[in-house]
Structure 1
Amino acid sequence: MNLPRTAALLLLIAFLAWAPVSACTIFAVTPGASEEGTMYLGHTNDGVGMDWRHIDDIRLTYIPAADHEAGAKRPVFFDPNSGSDAAGGKDGKASEWVLGYIDQVPHTYAYYTSSYGMMNEHQLLSAECTDYAKVELDAEEGKRIFYSSELSNVALGRCRTAREAIELVGDLIDTYGYYGTGETLIFADPEEAWVIEMCSSPTGTGGLWVAQKIPDGEVFVAGNEFRIRTVEEGDPDTLYTRDLFGIAEDYGLWSPSEGAFDWLEATSYGEYSHPYYSIMRVWSIQNRLAPSLNLSPYVTGSYTNALPFTIVPDEKVNRTTALSLFRDHYEGTEFDLTEGVAAGPFGNPYRCLGPADAHTDFQNESFIQVRAGANPRPVSAIFCSYSYIVEARSDLPDPVGGVLWFGPAVAYETVYTPMYAGAESISHSYRIGNRTEYDPDAAYWTFDFVSNWAMLRYDAMITDIQARQSAIEAESIGQVEEIDARATDLIAGGDEDAARRLLTNFTVARADGVIEEWQDLSAMLVVKYSNRLITDPETEAVDEPGYPAWWYQMAEYQYGPRLYDLQDLRATAGLNYTGEMVWVPKNATFEEILDLI
């Protein structure tokens, strides 16, 4: 069947169930691009609501390794975030929470997961971001049962290498079908990293997907837009779904007459929500790592080729840099969210979300919606539920080499806490919590409180936060280096059980310690910045700093109340705030006072 492009797209509208979705930023730093030869992956989980486990996505879960009887089946769970992450707006179309079953394997590996799989015991890493696709079909039992969340979980439970994970995910999509939004997954092991991008198929069965290997020595970044472009037959570093080109041609998504197959153009309109929603985040991380490229943040549209698929960093990325990549509000650029009237007097980078920020599609084949009031989308978003950086190291045994650096709540103000691949438990604080009930013992609320309290006087409090943040993470890095050596020696001596006990005890104890330290910081910030004052907890000195001069000017403080003649003062045009205090005679006329002020 050959349908004109427009007709095919109109047909697809009947299938779409578009609603707000999660909006994440991800990166991969290959071993050749890192200072220590480490593979780094990062993910911000910027969503709201229940995930595939039917629990709040602010919790971290450890799935232990398991053996399974012959003939056992694995359930595949429906993910309500596959089409909506609006608070209170969950409305899954599946008639059952379990969409179907696949054959279980004799043994599955241990791994960390939440909304998506993160790392397994064999140093297989994963990261995810949601993308806009032209074809986004609902789940249907027996026809379309997989979304990216369960694909990442199945892969981490069954695979040891990135290539194995890509091949398995592609086969599952082809065999069991894919539903929901477009998605990007990165899979990486200590040696190589791959990107796989996917969406529903207009045929109604299977799905469309393309995978591309990330060249060693380079860095990949994505943020809610497909990043794979030209797909060519015979490329050993590219894999794709069965009959990709034929399906695209039959349903009017692409024609050979258009030239090389462009995955982004064929399957997506690009960004969603508003212009630069995705592209600016990619630009920011690429620009910070490779300023020598002089990449411009300005583009002509969603299909731009101005930002390369990968970049070579100017300097090798170390662990400290990797942990900092999500801490970005575009500081130091012309898009700096800590500056300007929208940031208020104290440089608050976080904006109140409004209708113009909704993750509904804002463009189609022919039109683009211009949204007044859309806010810039930073890398560190206020609605982040958690973020993480995972690392894999080829020079260490798997239980030791894999480390998940997990940070609850907003990336900029969180603390990344190390959790080993070989650990077999996690801190209670990281396993609990939901957004509808404040719990000071939950890791999410421990950090989210600080982010929200900081908005009262962000420019001052962020200094205190960063000082404690840096100290804690530096201490964790030092402790990891020590535990690395001790656990490696135990494994080399044939006592892997003792090594796993050591890794587990450290993982739990360190996370508990970080929570305790951050709760202490919270208490200090409450005391120090209460009541719009700044109180030194040690000296008990109280400062009344007021507002910056530019804010007094914009807020028209120059018009009083500093004189009794307020009406005359307000009627005076061009009066500026100077910040100066002057003495005037009590019997001075208004005109005489004006000369002095």
Structure 2
Amino acid sequence: MRRKGFPAVLLLFFWVLGPGLAEACTTIIVTRGASKDGSVMVSHSDDNDLSDQRIVYVPAQDHAPGSMRPVYCSAVAMGDFPEYNSYGHRRMVAPERAPAYGGEGEPSIPLGQIPQVPHTYAYFDGNYGIMNEHQLLFGECTDGSKVTPGPEPGRRILYSSELSRIALERCRTAREAIALMGDLIERYGLYGTGETLPVADREEGWVMEMAPSPDGEGGLWVAKKVPDGEVFVAANQFRIRQIDPDDPDVMFSKNLHEVARRHGWWNPEEGPLDWLRTVSLGEYNHPYYSLRRVWRVFSLIAPSKGFSPWVEDGFTAAYPFSVRPDAKLDVRDVMALHRDHYEGTEFDLTRGVAAGPFGYPDRFYGPYDGAGDVGDPSRRLDGAWERPLSVTYCGYAFVAQARSWLPDEVGGLLWLGLDKPSDTVFIPYHAGLTGLPESVEVVDTARFSRESAWWAFNFLSNYAGLKYSYMHAEIVELREELEKGFLQDLAVAERRALALLAVDAAKARAYLTELARRNTADTLARWWGLADHLIVKYNDGLLNEEGKMGQPLGYPRDWLSTTSWPTGPTTYERR
């Protein structure tokens, strides 16, 4: 990672980090014509391990003429920058931006400032911006790029996280957001990793991808519209390929072709510029780290297409930019995609010796793995794990909906799942609320707390690993009950909100805020109750029920055959 002493140098093959310090996310766009209810959906799993897991409400604000907006450094994908008081936790100390960004620690030091606008919109913020009050939606995933420089005041001050926040503060549509971010990149410079940012509004979804420039200033970017009726997925690899300058549904930086040609990244005689080949080395981390997830999503939503999980290399054209699903998706279909571990396939992580006796699907990365390396995916490794959509080091996941037939206050809906997608509950939060519950905004991953929503889900997910096949079944039962209940109750709640909105917007917003508080509190009470129940029920590896304590469960016989059990001491004979 960058430290003092590595100023304006372009660092090729930038760093080798574990997933705790390198973003490794999956993100999806579902267009209006591909969704059952006609909403546009953007989803994102923020696979960041134990960095900042707070989801923060940033209020709308008015600013005096001539004001400047600080641009803060981001540690989310590159590690800590102590010189700017930028850390994985806390992501920033900037009380002027939001009350939740006040508190402990030295104030964050800006990399620079840009002119402020008279009024900024309210939005939900995480390690990247999520959704604003006008139903503008963002997702994100980190990609490998040929150059990954650190920040440099005066030359490169923007990373995708701050870009997404600025767009949410100032924009109402995806096209407007892309134009703004592109202009900012070219004016103020881009540092860091390659990035994919899904950007969507009530009508359409776009994909914006960016990479730092080898020129040492500015940056390179492209954007492409997702055809209506189709679904897009990205998983730590650029997904835009050939750039057609005459395509009205494609945008790109003014100097893209010139910079790529001058640095030998693209030869015009070879045909249209291939964005993936031009700015990256192909796949992120190791073979199939990214592509397997793209295959999995496409194979689940469009099995009729017969996509193969096997490709020739990291630059394959086997998977299109987007696909039309065999059946339209609803919000819980998208949640299910993020909960996947390749169940039922040859890559099923709930099976095999590494899954243990109880089908535990998570794998823990260590010093022998290539986790987090965005350098050369063709380097030799002694081994590698399959990388699923749901991972134990996920900090939070969400599915955000923009519903054009409803007012923004009600139409924008964030389904937030804290911690690992397969072991969490997605709780709904409307765009029109005036603040998130404190339990969502206050998280310290270094200190366990029963007052924190994130810790409730993280604790149970970790504890369930002791006897996963048993405990996960009970987790699924409760999460199904809660999520289906939210969907059933929303119809009534939203009718009430719409009625209030027609006569008093402030009362409608207060109602939505209280609804979010109540849903969160009730969910946490149920979740901690389940945790307490499971601690007793499976204490000491036994099955404990009232009146029937200490029932032995043992291990599955097929797993025992893979251990030393068959050759254990069954006789007095020496072996």
> For 1:406 and 1:128, how far apart are their aligned partners in 2?
15
Q: Identify which range, 439-448 or 464-473, moves more after superposition.
A: 439-448
What is the CA-CA distance between 1:564 and the residue it aligns to?
2.5
Q: How does 1:389-400 map to 2 (within 5 A)?
A: 389-400=399-410
Name the residue aligned to 2:152: 140
Q: For the Cα contact (< 8 Å) 1:80–1:92, is it kept in 2? A: no
> For 2:331 and 2:155, how far apart are their aligned partners in 1?
43
Q: How does 1:220-369 map to 2 (within 5 A)?
A: 220-355=232-367, 356-361=369-374, 363=376, 368-369=378-379
> For 2:159 and 2:11, how far apart are their aligned partners in 1?
20
Tell me if 1:533 matches 2:542.
Answer: yes
- Paired residue type of 1:564: Y
- Paired residue type of 2:568: G
> For 1:122 and 1:410, how far apart are their aligned partners in 2?
28
- Paired residue type of 2:303: P
- Aligned with residue 512 of structure 2, among 498, 503, 514: 503
Report the CA distance shift for 1:19/1:173 in structure 2 as closer, same or farther (over 3 A).
Answer: farther
> For 1:97 and 1:208, how far apart are their aligned partners in 2?
26
What does the per-residue CA deviation read over 1:524-544, in whole Å, with 9 as the maximum and x for residues that have no partner? 11111110001235x545431
Q: How does 1:387-466 map to 2 (within 5 A)?
A: 387-466=397-476
- Paired residue type of 2:135: Q
Name the residue aligned to 1:29: 30
> For 2:10 and 2:329, how far apart are their aligned partners in 1?
44
- Aligned with residue 547 of structure 1, among 555, 562, 565: 555
Secondary structure at the aligned position of 1:314 is classed as coil
Name the residue aligned to 1:563: 571
- Paired residue type of 1:63: V
> For 1:68 and 1:118, how far apart are their aligned partners in 2?
22
Name the residue aligned to 1:586: none
Secondary structure at the aligned position of 2:459 is classed as helix
Report the CA distance shift for 1:132/1:208 in structure 2 as closer, same or farther (over 3 A).
Answer: same
- Paired residue type of 1:505: E
Name the residue aligned to 2:381: 371
- Aligned with residue 468 of structure 1, among 473, 478, 484: 478
| Structure whose alpha-carbon radius of gyration is higher | 1
What does the per-residue CA deviation read over 1:480-506, in whole Å, with 9 as the maximum and x for residues that have no partner? 221111111222x33211211111110
- Aligned with residue 18 of structure 1, among 15, 19, 26: 15
- Paired residue type of 1:66: Q
What does the per-residue CA deviation read over 1:336-363, in whole Å, with 9 as the maximum and x for residues that have no partner? 0000001011111111211213212452
> For 2:450 and 2:564, how far apart are their aligned partners in 1?
40
Name the residue aligned to 2:5: none
What does the per-residue CA deviation read over 1:412-452, in whole Å, with 9 as the maximum and x for residues that have no partner? 10100011100011111111122211112211111011111
Secondary structure at the aligned position of 2:481 is classed as helix
Secondary structure at the aligned position of 2:175 is classed as helix
> For 1:527 and 1:441, how far apart are their aligned partners in 2?
21
- Paired residue type of 1:560: G
> For 2:459 and 2:23, how far apart are their aligned partners in 1?
22
> For 1:261 and 1:169, how far apart are their aligned partners in 2?
21
- Aligned with residue 514 of structure 1, among 515, 523, 526: 523
Q: For the Cα contact (< 8 Å) 1:94–1:139, is it kept in 2? A: no
What does the per-residue CA deviation read over 1:54-84, in whole Å, with 9 as the maximum and x for residues that have no partner? xx42111000111111001100000012423
Q: For the Cα contact (< 8 Å) 1:280–1:297, is it kept in 2? A: yes
Secondary structure at the aligned position of 1:450 is classed as helix
Name the residue aligned to 2:100: none
What is the CA-CA distance between 1:257 and the residue it aligns to?
1.4
Could you tell me the percent identity over the aligned residues? 44
Name the residue aligned to 2:61: 66
Tell me if 1:199 matches 2:199.
Answer: no
- Paired residue type of 2:315: Y
Name the residue aligned to 2:4: none
- Paired residue type of 2:33: G
> For 2:289 and 2:347, how far apart are their aligned partners in 1?
12
- Paired residue type of 1:72: S
> For 1:494 and 1:437, how far apart are their aligned partners in 2?
44
Could you tell me which runs of 5 or more consecutive residues in structure 2 were left unpaired when the two chains were aligned: 1-7, 86-107
- Paired residue type of 1:352: F
Secondary structure at the aligned position of 1:345 is classed as coil
- Paired residue type of 2:30: V
- Aligned with residue 75 of structure 2, among 50, 71, 80: 80
- Paired residue type of 2:527: W
Report the CA distance shift for 1:182/1:14 in structure 2 as closer, same or farther (over 3 A).
Answer: closer
What does the per-residue CA deviation read over 1:443-495, in whole Å, with 9 as the maximum and x for residues that have no partner? 1111011111111111111110000010011111112221111111222x332
Report the CA distance shift for 1:14/1:419 in structure 2 as closer, same or farther (over 3 A).
Answer: closer
Name the residue aligned to 2:101: none
- Paired residue type of 1:61: V
Q: Could you state the TM-score of these two structures normalised by the residue count of structure 1? A: 0.88
Aligned residues: 541
Q: For the Cα contact (< 8 Å) 1:33–1:316, is it kept in 2? A: yes
Report the CA distance shift for 1:270/1:93 in structure 2 as closer, same or farther (over 3 A).
Answer: farther
Q: For the Cα contact (< 8 Å) 2:349–2:360, is it kept in 1? A: yes
Q: For the Cα contact (< 8 Å) 2:16–2:370, is it kept in 1? A: no
What is the CA-CA distance between 1:323 and the residue it aligns to?
2.1
- Paired residue type of 2:308: S
Q: For the Cα contact (< 8 Å) 1:12–1:202, is it kept in 2? A: no
Q: For the Cα contact (< 8 Å) 2:128–2:140, is it kept in 1? A: yes
> For 1:316 and 1:330, how far apart are their aligned partners in 2?
21
Q: For the Cα contact (< 8 Å) 1:123–1:402, is it kept in 2? A: yes
What is the CA-CA distance between 1:560 and the residue it aligns to?
3.1
Q: Could you state the TM-score of these two structures normalised by the residue count of structure 2? A: 0.91
> For 1:148 and 1:319, how far apart are their aligned partners in 2?
26
Q: For the Cα contact (< 8 Å) 2:225–2:250, is it kept in 1? A: yes
Q: For the Cα contact (< 8 Å) 2:156–2:190, is it kept in 1? A: yes
> For 2:568 and 2:39, how far apart are their aligned partners in 1?
60
Report the CA distance shift for 1:495/1:14 in structure 2 as closer, same or farther (over 3 A).
Answer: closer
Secondary structure at the aligned position of 1:141 is classed as coil
Secondary structure at the aligned position of 1:231 is classed as coil
> For 2:293 and 2:34, how far apart are their aligned partners in 1?
20
Q: For the Cα contact (< 8 Å) 1:19–1:83, is it kept in 2? A: no
What is the CA-CA distance between 1:551 and the residue it aligns to?
1.6
What is the CA-CA distance between 1:110 and the residue it aligns to?
0.4
Secondary structure at the aligned position of 1:455 is classed as helix
What is the CA-CA distance between 1:203 and the residue it aligns to?
1.0
> For 2:333 and 2:14, how far apart are their aligned partners in 1?
39
What is the CA-CA distance between 1:238 and the residue it aligns to?
0.3
Secondary structure at the aligned position of 1:220 is classed as strand
Name the residue aligned to 1:5: none
Q: For the Cα contact (< 8 Å) 2:147–2:212, is it kept in 1? A: yes
> For 1:43 and 1:94, how far apart are their aligned partners in 2?
27
**Which structure carries more relative contact order (alpha carbon 8 Å, separation 6+)?**
2
Name the residue aligned to 1:477: 487
> For 1:558 and 1:374, how far apart are their aligned partners in 2?
29
Q: Identify which range, 220-229 or 16-25, moves more after superposition.
A: 16-25
Q: For the Cα contact (< 8 Å) 2:543–2:551, is it kept in 1? A: yes
